[in-house]
Amino acid sequence: MTHDELKDAIDGLHAHYAGALDSGINDALLKKRVRGHLLAMTPDNRRATLARVVRELSLSDEVVAQGYGCSDAFELIRWLGEDLRVLP
């Protein structure tokens, strides 16, 4: 799975979880694949990858200009830890 594929999958899965039924992805197999991909990484690589994904989806200049920000980053991090269970 490429970085962009991973980022897009996380974005869609999280959007569905957050209630965006029109733009979210409800796919248990994709969720399992993403989780497996992340857990197969070394802890350092997973940390760096997830930090990059969170920045790109919630904190980059482009998405901040669209209205995203710290609260969105927090919610995504919470979802990664509690629902996807990929954070230590």
pTM above 0.85, yes or no: yes
Compute and round to an integer the Cα radius of gyration of the chain: 12
Mean pLDDT over 70-86 rounds to 97
Measure CA of the first residue to CA of the last residue in the chain; give whole Å.
22
Q: Cα–Cα distance between 27 and 78 in angstroms, integer?
A: 19
Asked if 83 and 32 count as a contact pair (C-beta separation under 8 A), the reply is no
Residue 88: what pLDDT? 78
- pLDDT band (50, 70, 90) for residue 21: confident
Residue 6: what pLDDT? 98
